[in-house]
């Protein structure tokens, strides 16, 4: 039996009784039935189906019994009888575990092409959040009934990040009936290759040009050599393979791809193929922050580029201060992409910059006003661009006793809290999310979400408190969205070393959502998600000579090391909060490169952040700075400016206190 340390935020007895755990001074104790649940979870992860069946009877009456039953049946789903599956779905009707098993079963039925059972069960799937299941539905409707769902097939298939059987089957079925064109399939191959999803690229080639699929290995290994072997004026699929090879070459050398495209292929490709090739080359150049990126993009019309190309075309233009080019890229985006708050903001800014008439200025203001608020980075920047202060919204009406009791009586929320209390965080989070979404028309109301968030806050399950509260639409409770646990420790340590406590809170909220024992997939630990090597280096720098690696999850040690490292990188970048945040997330070497060499333009830090090549770091910087602005308002009680915190970014002026040994 594998036992684990119970990392408990609440007393389990408090969860089971429905009473606020914080009101009880109960030391969590691992009961015999708790131990069985934990052993079953370990057995499930290790594929021990027989052991799960042996242990299941010992979980009767436990609050997490539905999880135990799910693990046991899921482990042997391929051999389970339809009667066993039906019995489980009936016994646990309405629970997350019921719909989770239905999801698993539908995937198995789709893989086995068992459409007779699939068609009966698919309408009962409530979550509707599995793209593969939806693609199996689309495939089934075409195969059995002949329904044309080509547009949705493209949407689902193009958005899929990895190769999947269901979406490929739906695409094949519609392609066979000429409802999808070869151009549709080649588009998927391009999207997949640009995303470095090789299996999905091959899957698309197997549909549209099986004879070309075998060439993919050579294309990937030596794209420049492969391009030299193709005949530009021969078969159509040679032209499409040339685009793929140019995409692959641009990944490592945009300049080489551009030279080959201009010298050999530009006149051999049609307008759409040429635009895509230039879009891929420009995107790679933009991600490398090349000053030539915008020139590459401008070789072709933005109308035939993908949304990803257009996003990087807009970023490259903003980086160079070319507002007309930025606006052209933004206006060519699909309606779905252009409605994203990022691009609404920059379109409003571009229109404002270029406006010459009052109607044009009104149009720009209207776009900015449509997103202005305290909901995020660009929402706050829109407020400031309109000359409006960043002020907290009115507090919602206090929750009533009845509203709080309704949340506490929710069986799914109680199971989620019990799972988290027992150390089964992944299971608890999934059940919590399911229970707050409800998967019925409309889901939880704003008031119900506030009550659920309040329940999580009361039990110090801060990540569910924050994430649930963030989903309200008409009311905002900033105290829920931006809690300040460990306040005395954070404020005291921040002030001792001269660090803005709002910045520390903004970073912790993004790093760990205040989960003390949080651990990332790469080994970062604790509230401030510190890597082991960074912890050892920082401990020496700040004088923690007795530091041992196991201490990194201790709250005060983690805060001391995390804030110490943050102060070092902040000083390294002359107090630039966005650059220090980028360094904290991606290491200090990369932001030094991203700021540009001597002669590079000085730009708004918002433009600099939007041009960060790593999507994770780009998102991280924006969220940390937005968090910081809200926390500063809450701590100081005064109006804050996000723009002032952002400042400007440009090449080093040589006055930096550079710690070259920063890890």
C-alpha dihedral, 530 to 533 to 535 to 539, nearest 10°: -170
As a whole number of angstroms, the distance between CA 270 and CA 241 comes to 13
Task: Sort residue 439 into left (φ over 0), alpha (ψ -120 to 50) or beta.
Answer: left
- Low-confidence residues of the chain, pLDDT below 50? 1-27, 656-657
Q: Given this model, what pLDDT does residue 28 score?
A: 56
The encoded tokens of residue 133 equal 């299941």
As a whole number of angstroms, the distance between CA 571 and CA 584 comes to 12
The answer to whether residues 504 and 494 touch, using CB atoms and an 8 Å cutoff, is yes
What pLDDT digit, counting tens, does each position of 227-253 carry?
A: 998 876 667 889 999 999 999 999 999
The answer to whether residues 429 and 464 touch, using CB atoms and an 8 Å cutoff, is yes
- 120-153: buried (b, 16+ CB within 10 Å) or exposed (e) per residue? ebbeebbeeebbbbbbbbbbbbbbeeeeebbeeb
User: Minimal CA–CA distance to 105: which of 74, 134, 131?
Assistant: 74
Question: 552 in helix, strand or coil?
Answer: helix
- Alpha carbons within 13 angstroms on the beta-carbon side of residue 105 total 27
The encoded tokens of residue 268 equal 């051999």
Strand partners, 649: 603
* Beta strands at 603-604 and 648-649: parallel, antiparallel or unpaired: antiparallel
DSSP 8-class letter at 500: -
Q: Given this model, what pLDDT does residue 440 score?
A: 53
Task: Sort residue 442 into left (φ over 0), alpha (ψ -120 to 50) or beta.
Answer: left
User: Minimal CA–CA distance to 428: which of 96, 55, 130?
Assistant: 96
Indicate which residue of 132, 448, 511, 610 is catalytic: 511
Q: Give pTM, 2 decimals.
A: 0.92
As a whole number of angstroms, the distance between CA 11 and CA 459 comes to 9
Q: Quick one: fold of 487-649?
A: Lysozyme (1.10.530)
Residues 6+ apart with CB under 8 A from 507: 528, 562, 566, 581, 584, 624, 627, 628
Cα angle 602, 607, 611; round to 5: 105
As a whole number of angstroms, the distance between CA 336 and CA 292 comes to 28
Phi and psi angles of residue 390, each rounded to the nearest 5 degrees, phi first: -85, 100
The answer to whether residues 618 and 610 touch, using CB atoms and an 8 Å cutoff, is yes
As a whole number of angstroms, the distance between CA 279 and CA 283 comes to 6
554 CA to centre of own chain: 28
The domains of the chain are located at 487-649
- Which DSSP string corresponds to 363-430? HHHHHHHHH-SSSSHHHHHHHHHTT--B-PPPPPPPPPHHHHHHHHT-HHHHHHHHHHHTT-HHHHHH
- What stretch of H or E contains 604? strand 603-604
In the residue annotation, 511 being an active-site residue is answered as yes
Q: Given this model, what pLDDT does residue 201 score?
A: 97
The answer to whether residues 418 and 41 touch, using CB atoms and an 8 Å cutoff, is no
* R_g of the chain computed on alpha carbons: 27
For all residues of the chain together, what is the average pLDDT? 92
Alpha-carbon distances, residue 257 vs 45, 296, 614 (angstroms): 46, 10, 22
The answer to whether residues 623 and 500 touch, using CB atoms and an 8 Å cutoff, is no
**Orientation angle between helical segments 425-437 and 411-421, nearest 10 degrees:** 160
- What stretch of H or E contains 603? strand 603-604
User: Minimal CA–CA distance to 315: which of 353, 343, 335?
Assistant: 343
- What stretch of H or E contains 648? strand 648-649
As a whole number of angstroms, the distance between CA 353 and CA 345 comes to 12
As a whole number of angstroms, the distance between CA 618 and CA 370 comes to 23
Q: Given this model, what pLDDT does residue 311 score?
A: 98
The answer to whether residues 629 and 642 touch, using CB atoms and an 8 Å cutoff, is yes
The encoded tokens of residue 232 equal 């530009």
As a whole number of angstroms, the distance between CA 63 and CA 40 comes to 14
Residues 6+ apart with CB under 8 A from 136: 106, 107, 109, 110, 118, 122, 166, 169, 170
- For tokens 């399911």, what's the residue? 434
- For tokens 């708790």, what's the residue? 34
The encoded tokens of residue 226 equal 């492969």
Termini Cα distance of the chain:
39
User: Minimal CA–CA distance to 435: which of 421, 418, 423, 422?
Assistant: 418
The encoded tokens of residue 212 equal 């070309």
As a whole number of angstroms, the distance between CA 506 and CA 484 comes to 10
236 CA to centre of own chain: 38
- For tokens 């999905």, what's the residue? 200
């Amino acid at each position: 039996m594998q036992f684990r340390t119970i990392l408990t935020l609440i007393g389990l007895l408090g969860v089971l009784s429905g009473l606020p755990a914080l009101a009880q001074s109960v030391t969590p104790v691992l009961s015999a039935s708790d131990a069985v649940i934990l052993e079953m979870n370990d057995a499930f992860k290790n594929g021990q189906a027989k052991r799960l069946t042996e242990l299941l009877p010992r979980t009767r009456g436990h609050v997490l019994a539905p999880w135990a039953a799910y693990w046991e049946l899921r482990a042997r789903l391929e051999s389970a009888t339809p009667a066993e599956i039906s019995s489980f779905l009936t016994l646990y009707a309405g629970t997350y575990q019921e719909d989770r098993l239905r999801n698993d079963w539908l995937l198995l039925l789709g893989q086995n092409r068992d459409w007779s059972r699939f068609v009966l069960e698919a309408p009962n799937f409530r979550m509707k959040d599995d793209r593969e299941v939806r693609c199996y539905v689309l495939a089934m409707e075409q195969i059995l009934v002949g329904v044309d769902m080509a547009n949705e097939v493209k949407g689902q298939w193009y958005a899929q990040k990895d190769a999947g059987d269901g979406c490929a089957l739906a695409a094949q079925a519609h392609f066979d009936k000429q409802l999808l064109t070869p151009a549709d399939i080649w588009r998927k191959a391009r999207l997949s290759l640009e995303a470095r999803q090789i299996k999905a690229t091959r899957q698309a080639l197997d549909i549209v040009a099986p004879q070309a699929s075998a060439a993919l290995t050579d294309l990937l290994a030596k794209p420049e050599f492969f391009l030299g072997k193709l005949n530009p004026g021969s078969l159509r699929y040679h032209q499409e393979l040339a685009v793929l090879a140019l995409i692959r070459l641009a990944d490592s050398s945009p300049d080489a791809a551009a030279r080959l495209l201009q010298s050999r292929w530009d006149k051999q490709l049609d307008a759409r193929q040429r635009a895509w090739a230039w879009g891929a080359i420009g995107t790679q150049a933009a991600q490398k922050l090349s000053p030539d990126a915008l020139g590459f993009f401008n070789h072709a019309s933005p109308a035939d580029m993908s949304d990803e190309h257009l996003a990087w075309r807009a970023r490259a233009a903003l980086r160079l201060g070319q507002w007309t080019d930025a606006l052209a890229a933004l206006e060519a985006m699909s309606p779905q992409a252009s409605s994203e708050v990022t691009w609404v903001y920059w379109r409003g800014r571009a229109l404002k910059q270029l406006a010459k008439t009052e109607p044009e200025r009104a149009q720009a203001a209207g776009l900015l006003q449509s997103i202005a608020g305290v909901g995020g980075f660009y929402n706050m920047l829109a407020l400031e661009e309109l000359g409006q202060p960043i002020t907290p919204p009115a507090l919602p009406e206090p929750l009533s006793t009845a509203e709080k009791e309704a949340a506490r009586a929710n069986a799914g929320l109680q199971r989620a809290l019990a799972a988290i209390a027992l150390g089964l965080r992944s299971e608890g989070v999934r059940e919590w999310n399911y229970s707050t979404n409800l998967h019925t028309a409309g889901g939880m109301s704003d008031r119900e979400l506030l009550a659920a968030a309040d329940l999580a806050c009361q039990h110090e399950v801060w990540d569910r408190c924050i994430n649930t509260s963030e989903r309200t639409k008409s009311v905002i409770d900033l105290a829920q969205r931006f809690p300040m646990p460990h306040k005395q420790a954070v404020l005291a340590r921040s002030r001792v070393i001269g660090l803005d406590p709002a910045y520390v809170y903004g970073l912790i909220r993004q790093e760990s959502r205040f989960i003390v024992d949080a651990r990332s997939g790469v080994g970062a630990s604790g509230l401030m998600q510190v890597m082991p090597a960074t912890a050892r280096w920082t401990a020496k720098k700040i004088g923690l000579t007795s530091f041992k690696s196991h201490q990194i999850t201790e709250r005060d040690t983690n805060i001391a090391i995390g804030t110490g490292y943050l102060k070092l990188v902040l000083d390294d970048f002359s107090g630039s909060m966005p650059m220090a945040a980028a360094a904290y997330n991606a290491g200090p070497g990369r932001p030094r490169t991203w700021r540009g060499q001597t002669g590079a333009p000085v730009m708004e830090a918002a433009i600099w952040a939007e041009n960060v090549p790593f999507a994770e770091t780009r998102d991280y910087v924006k969220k940390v700075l937005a968090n910081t602005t809200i926390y500063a308002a809450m701590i100081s009680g005064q109006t804050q400016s996000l723009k002032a915190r952002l400042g400007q970014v440009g090449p080093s002026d040589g006055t930096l206190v550079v710690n070259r040994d920063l890890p």
